[in-house]
């Protein structure tokens, strides 16, 4: 999911203060320019093999120009262990608020033991009442989007049968393993009539009805726009021994929580989607047949393999455009835009962002192996569906403004990053959200810098870390959505940048590429990432991970006291300075300390930072003027910049902390305003 609004939560209040201050200091324009789209991106001169289809500007009429995609030649072998296979037939009712679905789902036991029960996620039940776990935890808010009185929804299982027609519905029970909340129906357990042996498959036929919510928390309708995310009964992940450090195999099941995203297994999806004739459909995977018209309905047929979810969107208003694109690591992809008409003129910006993201990620981490990538732009007011990732389909932020700033590109770049860190490297978002959000935020910054020259102010971001928490813990263990976001997006990213600062950019790229290559189409855990870091760097990172990943440490250093007194040395007047430096957080390796004297001379000390504090006594011909710890500000885990500097005022003997004025704070943060 996109951190844009998440960041805004943190940044908003500080930003207002800083804006006021910077206006006074003449930096007001610098601030504003961050939110002005100054330069149109260069037209793609890269390996386009097909001209984009030019949409009629601001056309409210749909352009149904999608054609079936040329299937790539069959892959010599599947990219993933295909544990699940879905054949779904779904239709959108004329009211635009209900889905009627039938699915045949086949699940293969990947373990070494017989399995006697299956689990299904029924995510739309999260908004069934105010008493669900999602609603009680989130208070009806996700990011800055609020549930409306019409945001109730449900997924009702109407039938559940074996292929022989035996009804298994009476064997289904709702399950609440996390909190015992009996008003929560987002997870169901099916006791199988007989055990399923290892390697054997079971196919179930399920009929279901979904009442969509008015857009909230990633799904629903807004006017005639539909976002079908997490919309069908989805089988949970059965983790084999060894997966994510498990010693014995078993289901990994959780309810739908206010702060949690998802986790599911790889497989194949064959999905037939019927919508009223006016609608155009965007979906995961590719179209295998031309759009048919049957009884006043449009019928779409989509197919996807080696993916772990399937999402679709529909609207009568989409303005459609596509480009075929290939590059190193991208054998050939059709980038498909489903634009809100208000953004029809911004087509080139979306395309440029998508190509920049794909080409960089493919170059850095590995191939994008799918032949489509769809980008859906929700209409104004439908932001609840925006900024979200699904396999081969992402949603941009809603078309609220006709002149958006770089948040347009940033959101596209972020969500495409999730094709790698979530889509292919399929971490468990319930339990280790930093592995998708932190990695994606890190990668997003790299693309924004490479493609648009926008670099983050990491020191400023570090200063928002007011409530650090362990990165590896269930998403619902964070006390609230702010703490969740602060940690799994921002602190996680800063930890990755800190690792990069320690090992160098080249080595960090090697770490991430190795991690991607080793764990694509698998479910790695934090320990797997640590092992890759250790293998690539040939060093032990236990202490580092224990402090910054498994615990909530930051790495704050402070100049705690300065005392300067005149001394006589063989008749010469000299000054003796005593300086106390403290480590208030975790260890992070040697830390430089700069001493500046009134005659302009400087001395640099390097402290190991291993002890809790260190005291220096220096004799100098001129009085000490100030002391700065980490003067180059390279320690991105130092969340209190304000205590890194102390002025030694004369003539008092005992120095008190320099009261850091606002203008000096700004000076310290110069280069700011670029996150
Ligand atoms: Zn995200």
Per-residue pLDDT reduced to its tens digit, 63-117: 445 666 655 555 668 999 999 999 999 999 999 999 999 999 999 999 999 999 9
Residues 6+ apart with CB under 8 A from 504: none
Answer yes or no: are the C-beta atoms of 379 and 317 closer than 8 Å.
Answer: yes
601 plus 455 within the same structural domain: no
Same domain, yes or no: 534 and 588: no
Percent of the chain with pLDDT over 90: 82
Distance 414 CA to ligand 1 centre (A): 6
Q: Which pLDDT does position 73 carry in this prediction?
A: 56
Statement to judge: residues 216 and 244 lie in one domain: yes
What single-letter DSSP state applies at residue 472?
Answer: S
DSSP 397-438: -----SS--THHHHHHHHHHHTIIIIIIB---TTT-THHHHH
As a whole number of angstroms, the distance between CA 283 and CA 40 comes to: 29
**Residue 242: left if φ>0, alpha if ψ -120 to 50, beta else—which one?**
left
What is the predicted pLDDT for the residue at 561? Answer: 95
Give the model confidence (pLDDT) of 86-97 as tens digits.
Answer: 999 999 999 999
| C-beta separation of 476 from 176 below 8 A | no
649 — pLDDT class (breaks 50, 70, 90)? confident
Ligand 1 geometric centre to CA of 392 (Å) = 14
The answer to whether residues 517 and 594 belong to one domain is no
In a domain, 141, yes or no: yes
Q: How far is the CA of 3 from the centre of ligand 1 (A)?
A: 6
In 3D space, the residue among 345, 299, 341, 348 whose CA is nearest the CA of residue 319 turns out to be 341
Q: Is 418 annotated as a binding residue?
A: yes
Provide the residue range defining the domain that includes 189. Answer: 83-265
Angle between helices 526-537 and 505-519 (to 10 degrees): 130
Distance 125 CA to ligand 1 centre (A): 23
Residue 89: inside a domain: yes
Residue 505: count of CB within 10 angstroms of its CB: 10
Could you say which of 502, 518, 549 is where a domain stops? Answer: 549
410 CA → ligand 1 middle, Å: 11
| 254 assigned to a ligand binding site | no
Cα distances (angstroms) measured from residue 500 to each of 164, 495, 535, 636: 57, 9, 15, 11
Q: What is the pLDDT of residues 184-193, one digit of tens each?
A: 999 999 999 9
User: How many Å lie between the centroid of ligand 1 and the Cα of residue 259?
Assistant: 12
95 shares its domain with 199: yes
As a residue count, the chain comes to 675
User: What mean pLDDT is predicted for residues 360-372?
Assistant: 98
φ, ψ for residue 333 (rounded to 5)? Answer: -135, 140
For the domain that residue 211 is a member of, what is the CATH number? Answer: 2.60.40
Same domain for 495 and 570, yes or no, is no
Q: Is 412 inside a domain boundary?
A: no
How far does residue 441's CA lie from ligand 1's centre (Å)?
Answer: 7
Structure-model confidence comparison of residues 145 and 456, the more confident one: 456
CA neighbours within 13 Å on the CB side: how many for 273? Answer: 33
Identify the CA nearest to 413 among candidates 495, 473, 356. 356
Domain at 489, CATH number: 1.10.390.10
Q: What is the pLDDT of residue 144?
A: 81
The rounded Å distance from CA 406 to ligand 1 centre is: 16
Q: What is the pLDDT of residue 570?
A: 78
Same domain, 494 and 588: no
Q: How far apart are CA 234 and CA 120, in angstroms?
A: 5
Is residue 489 annotated as a catalytic residue, yes or no?
A: yes
Task: Give pLDDT, residue 535.
Answer: 98
Confidence of residue 569 (pLDDT cuts 50, 70, 90): confident
Helix axes 434-452, 526-537, angle to 10 degrees: 50
Residue 419 lies inside a defined structural domain of this protein: no
Query: What is the pLDDT, as a whole number, of residue 287?
Result: 96
Q: Are residues 109 and 229 in the same domain?
A: yes
* CA of residue 607 to ligand 1 center, whole Å: 37
- The pLDDT assigned to 378 comes to 97
Looking at the structure, do residues 522 and 628 belong to the same domain, yes or no?
no
Measure the CA–CA gap between 207 and 168, rounded to whole angstroms: 12
**Could you tell me the distance, in angstroms and rounded to a whole number, from the CA of residue 610 to the centre of ligand 1?**
35
What contacts 371, CB < 8 A, 6 or more positions away?
Answer: 69, 70, 71, 72, 286, 331, 332, 333, 334
3 state SS of 187: strand
Q: What is the pLDDT of residue 72?
A: 55
On whether the CB atoms of residues 423 and 307 are closer than 8 A, the answer is: yes
According to DSSP, the residues that pair with 593 across neighbouring strands are: 605, 629
- Residue 127 inside a domain? The answer is yes
137 is catalytic: no
> Domain boundary at 514, 549, 584, which?
549
Residue found under tokens 């069934």:
128
Spacing, Cα 655 to ligand 1 middle (Å): 47
Ligand 1 centroid to Cα of residue 650, in Å, is 51
Over the chain, what is the mean pLDDT? 88
Tell whether 216 is covered by a domain.
Answer: yes
| DSSP-assigned states of every residue in 296-330 | TEEEEEEEEEEES---EEEESSPEEEEEEEEETTE
Q: How far is the CA of 50 from the centre of ligand 1 (A)?
A: 30
The residue that leads in pLDDT, 339 or 28, is 339
The whole-number average pLDDT for the span 618-637 is 95
> Is 564 found in the same domain as 545?
no
525 lies in a domain?
A: yes
Greatest distance between any 2 Cα atoms in the chain: 105
Q: Are residues 169 and 220 in the same domain?
A: yes
Beta strands at 624-629 and 292-294: parallel, antiparallel or unpaired: unpaired
Distance 416 CA to ligand 1 centre (A): 9
Q: Which of 489, 519, 544, 575 is catalytic?
A: 489
Whole-number pLDDT of residue 67? 62
Q: Are strands 372-376 and 330-339 parallel, antiparallel or unpaired?
A: parallel
Pull the structure tokens for residue 221: 């309708």
- State the burial class of residue 573 (Cβ atoms within 10 Å of its Cβ: 0-12, 13-18, 19+): exposed
- Taking CA atoms, 177 is separated from 253, 255, 460, in Å, by 8, 7, 39
User: Does residue 199 form part of some domain?
Assistant: yes
Q: Are residues 584 and 658 in the same domain?
A: yes
By DSSP bridging, strand 98-108 and strand 84-92 are antiparallel
Q: Lowest-pLDDT range, 142-156, 328-342, 574-588?
A: 142-156
Q: How many domains does the chain have?
A: 3
Of 265, 285, 317, which one is at a domain's C-terminal end? 265
Taking the C-alpha atoms of residue 640 and residue 557, their distance in angstroms, rounded to an integer, is: 8
List 389, 415, 429, 486, catalytic entry: 415
| C-alpha to C-alpha distance for 124 and 213, rounded to whole angstroms | 8
Calculate how far, in angstroms, residue 145's C-alpha sits from the geometric centre of ligand 1: 16
Q: What does DSSP say about strands 602-607 and 613-620: parallel, antiparallel, or unpaired?
A: unpaired
The string of DSSP letters for 44-93 reads --SSB-SPPPPPPTT--S------PPPPPPPPSS-SS---EEEEEEEEE-
Residue 541 scores a pLDDT above 70: yes
What are the residues whose beta carbons fall under 8 Å from the beta carbon of 469, sequence distance 6 or more? Answer: 477, 478, 483, 487, 552
Residue 445 Cα to ligand 1 midpoint, Å, equals 12
pLDDT(656) > 60: no
**Buried residues in 306-327 as b, exposed as e (16+ CB within 10 A):** bbbbbbbbbbbbbbbbbbbbbb
Q: Is 414 annotated as a binding residue?
A: yes
């Amino acid at each position: 999911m996109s951190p844009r609004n998440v960041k805004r939560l943190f940044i908003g209040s500080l930003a207002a203060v800083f804006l006021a201050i910077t206006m006074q200091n003449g930096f007001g324009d610098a601030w504003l320019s961050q939110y002005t789209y100054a330069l149109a991106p260069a037209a793609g001169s890269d390996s386009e093999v097909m001209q984009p289809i030019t949409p009629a500007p601001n056309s409210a009429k749909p352009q149904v120009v999608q054609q079936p995609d040329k299937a790539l030649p069959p892959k010599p072998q599947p990219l993933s262990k295909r544990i699940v296979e879905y054949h779904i037939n779904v239709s959108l009712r004329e009211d635009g608020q209900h889905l009627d679905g039938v699915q045949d789902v086949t699940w293969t036991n990947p373990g070494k033991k017989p399995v006697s029960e299956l689990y299904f996620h029924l995510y739309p039940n999260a908004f069934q009442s105010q008493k669900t776990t999602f609603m009680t935890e989130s208070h009806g808010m996700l990011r800055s989007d609020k549930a409306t009185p019409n945001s109730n929804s449900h997924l009702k299982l109407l039938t559940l049968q074996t292929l022989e027609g035996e009804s298994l519905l009476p064997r289904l029970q709702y399950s609440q393993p996390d909190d015992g909340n009996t008003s929560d129906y987002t997870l169901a357990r099916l006791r199988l009539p007989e055990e399923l042996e290892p390697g054997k498959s079971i196919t179930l036929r399920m009929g279901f009805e979904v009442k969509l919510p008015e857009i909230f928390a990633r799904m629903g309708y807004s006017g005639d726009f539909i976002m079908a995310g997490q919309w069908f009964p989805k089988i949970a992940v059965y983790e084999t021994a060894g997966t994510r450090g498990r010693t014995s195999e078993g289901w990994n099941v959780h309810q739908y929580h206010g702060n949690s995203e998802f986790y599911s297994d790889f497989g194949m999806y064959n999905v037939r989607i019927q919508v009223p004739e006016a609608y155009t459909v965007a979906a995961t995977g590719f179209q295998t047949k031309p759009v048919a018209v049957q009884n006043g309905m449009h019928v779409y047929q989509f197919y996807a393999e080696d993916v772990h979810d399937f999402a679709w969107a529909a609207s009568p208003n989409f303005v459609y455009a596509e480009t075929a694109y290939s590059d190193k690591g991208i054998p050939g992809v059709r980038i498909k835009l489903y634009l809100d008409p208000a953004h029809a003129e911004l087509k080139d910006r979306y395309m440029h962002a998508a190509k920049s993201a794909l080409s960089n990620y493919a170059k850095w981490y590995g191939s994008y192996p799918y032949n489509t990538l769809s980008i859906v732009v929700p209409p104004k007011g439908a932001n609840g569906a925006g900024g979200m990732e699904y396999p081969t389909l992402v949603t941009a932020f809603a078309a609220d403004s006709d002149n958006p700033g770089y948040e347009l590109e940033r959101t596209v770049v972020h969500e495409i990053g999730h094709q790698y860190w979530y889509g292919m490297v399929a971490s468990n978002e319930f339990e280790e959200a930093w592995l998708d959000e932190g990695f994606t935020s890190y990668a997003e910054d790299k693309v924004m810098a490479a493609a648009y020259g926008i670099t983050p102010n990491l020191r400023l971001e570090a200063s928002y870390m007011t409530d650090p928490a362990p990165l590896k813990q269930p998403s619902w263990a964070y006390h609230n959505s702010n703490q969740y976001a602060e940690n799994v997006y921002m602190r996680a990213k800063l930890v990755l940048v800190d690792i990069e600062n320690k090992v160098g950019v080249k080595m960090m790229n090697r770490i991430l590429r190795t991690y991607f290559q080793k764990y694509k189409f698998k479910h790695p855990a934090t320990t797997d990432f640590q092992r890759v870091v250790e293998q690539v760097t040939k060093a032990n990172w236990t202490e580092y991970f224990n402090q910054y990943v498994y615990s909530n440490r930051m790495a704050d250093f402070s100049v705690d006291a300065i005392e300067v007194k005149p001394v006589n040395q063989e008749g010469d007047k000299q000054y003796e300075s005593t300086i106390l430096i403290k480590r208030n957080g975790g260890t992070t390796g040697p830390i430089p300390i700069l001493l500046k004297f009134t005659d302009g001379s400087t001395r640099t000390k390097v402290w190991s930072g291993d002890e809790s504090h260190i005291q220096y006594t220096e004799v100098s011909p001129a009085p000490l003027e100030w002391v700065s710890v980490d003067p180059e500000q390279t320690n991105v885990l130092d969340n209190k910049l304000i205590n890194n500097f102390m002025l030694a005022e004369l003539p008092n003997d005992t120095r008190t902390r320099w009261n850091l004025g606002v203008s000096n704070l700004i000076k310290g943060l110069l280069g700011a305003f670029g996150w």
